[in-house]
Amino acid sequence: MKILITGAHFTPAQAVIEELQKEPDIKITYLGRKYTQEGDKSLSVESQILPKLGVKFIPVIAGRLQRSFTIYTIPSLFKVPLGALQSFYILLKDRPDVVLSFGGYVSVPVVISAWLLSIPIITHEQTLVSGLANTINSWFADKVAVSFPNHEARQNSKQVLTGNPIRREVLEPGGFGDEEIKKIAQLSDNGKLPLLLVTGGNQGSHVINLGVLGVLRELIDVACVVHQTGDSKFKDYDNLKEMQKTLKKPERYLVRKWLEAEEMGVILEGTDLVISRAGANTLLELAFLGIPALVIPIPYLHKNEQMVNAKYFEKLGLVRVLLQKELNPENLLSSVKDMLKNLPKLKEEAKEAGKVVVPDAAKRLALETILLANEDTPT
């Protein structure tokens, strides 16, 4: 069986890929972004990780409809027909048995091409509201897998509740971390300092990185900090790495461009508090583990989806929300200190959020994908 996977939400995709690879005779190809974003030549995480997993990765030319005019607007529009032609050619040549989409603008030409070629399609929605790409994809998909029972879309014959896939390394951390990771985890335990994880997801968050840069000296006075910066044209990793050299206690700070799944599993196992965006993937992993978080939702997404996520998980007791317009080093530091003071209570509240997690979501989505492919196979 040949399964073609596409999309920009790589964390759940990786979880499903690992589940599909347990089955014999399944060949997986991934169509995705070569770079993290337009105007930035930093390689995407998926383009670097997938070959290590034995998955063929094909970069796709993709353009997106921008909500404001920038220097990338016109070039992006020209990429739309190029991406459509490229996707159609790849699918025509490869003829997969099914296409599994994880949203993002890169997935749209792939999904439409699959529909034109009568290849069955399943698209997965991670968040509580559908983004623009997934809204378009759902028109062409045979199945729409959702993560929450109270998703905004009305129940219909296409929709199936699978939950949001969580990486195996987070569900069952195997203790595989390099010496730096082991050292800072041990330092946190021995010194009885809380372990603070800062992450903006695989792409990182420039605004969060800037906030941390402004108060890093104060942060390491109250916590050991692991910081995933992402890799971008802003050179946040380089700037923070340089600042680390000037710290009185540099051993309390570990900065990486990204963390492999196994490394993230080990770190989360010992994490007390997280600073992050409000992506559904991140929040569901934290809900499963019962780790409280300070979240800064991205304010400009379609239907304000990250704020919807943040408010939902705030009601469940998992997160506290700091608006991006109010984010500055001083507010960031005071919010972290306040949460650390109330950490035992916050951890108890965070445990309750685990009730919305579907632990076997990766298995469910893998099964739905295989079933859809088999439905279309002649007997």
Give per-residue burial for 327-348: e unless 16+ CB within 10 Å, then b: bebeebbebbeebbeeeeebee
Instruction: Write the burial class of residue 3 (CB in 10 Å: 0-12 exposed, 13-18 middle, 19+ buried).
Output: buried
| DSSP state letter for 221 | H
Residue at token pair 């094909």: 58
In order of 38, 218, 251, 254, 338, the CA distances from 193 in angstroms are 39, 14, 13, 14, 15
Q: Residues near 345 by Cβ (< 8 Å), separated by ≥ 6?
A: none
Q: Which residues are annotated as a binding site for UDP-N-acetyl-alpha-D-glucosamine?
A: 167, 306
Q: Residues near 193 by Cβ (< 8 Å), separated by ≥ 6?
A: 187, 222, 223, 224, 252
Reading the block at residue 155, the tokens are 């129940």
Instruction: Write the burial class of residue 52 (CB in 10 Å: 0-12 exposed, 13-18 middle, 19+ buried).
Output: exposed
User: Hey, is 207 helix, strand or coil?
Assistant: helix
Q: Which residues are annotated as a binding site?
A: 167, 306
Reading the block at residue 54, the tokens are 């034995």
- Rounded to 5 degrees, φ, ψ at 68 are -140, 155
